[in-house]
Amino acid sequence: MCALIHFLKWRLGFAPADHWMMPVECACLLGHAAGKTRLAEIGVWEGGTTRRLREAMAPGATLIAIDPYPPGRSGLNYQKIIAAHEVAAVQKGTVIWLRQRSVDALQNPCVRAALFDFVFVDGDHTYEGLRQDWEGWAPLIGPGGVIALHDSLAVEGKVDAGSIRYSNDVVIHDPRFEVVDEVFTLRVLRRRAV
């Protein structure tokens, strides 16, 4: 019922699309996405961040938006409907929607077509979820490209999140990458030149 109420409020213009990021995180993320040409977002939700990424990317860029969007009790997924409208409001580049889990999207030919210069991971925040995303997506980042991980830094109330533990245990020690920004719960890494 909460999803339906939020959807109605959004549809009537009384609520924005959710993007689950602090303003400082969003500014940092968009700074790294600016002018990028091949982007992916894992965990679109209502498309609030996806819309902003589309605004920031290069004019002819491609953004792959990945989210499984399981149907709710009504058979609909209100977040998917909101996201489609939000992202369509920006006419820049191309958006490819993959309605699947990020690990399944790795097999899609459009994902395998070329290396990425920007990937934002905001999907499964468990230890295993981030492990799968890191192992699958980090190799797809080209030299100088960026991968941003939401909920990968400890702040009050999130210190036990599996994604934070995996990021601290594994990600920051990966010799292929260097940490270039850390803002609130967002950690941004750049692929080192080969």
For the chain, give every domain's residue range: 17-191
Predicted pLDDT of residue 158: 60
**Cα Rg of the chain, angstroms:** 16
Tokens representing 137 are: 């997506």
Q: What is the pLDDT along the chain (194 residues), one digit of tens a residue?
A: 588 888 888 888 898 887 789 999 999 999 999 999 999 999 999 999 999 999 999 999 999 999 999 998 888 999 999 999 999 999 999 999 999 999 999 999 999 999 999 999 999 999 999 999 999 999 999 999 999 999 999 887 666 789 999 999 999 999 999 999 999 999 999 999 97
pTM of the prediction? 0.95
Q: Cα–Cα distances in Å, from 117 out to 8, 142, 160?
A: 36, 6, 30
Contact predicate 177/142, CB 8 Å = no
Take residue 58 and report the two structure tokens written for it.
């290069």
Q: State the fold for domain 17-191.
A: Rossmann fold (3.40.50)
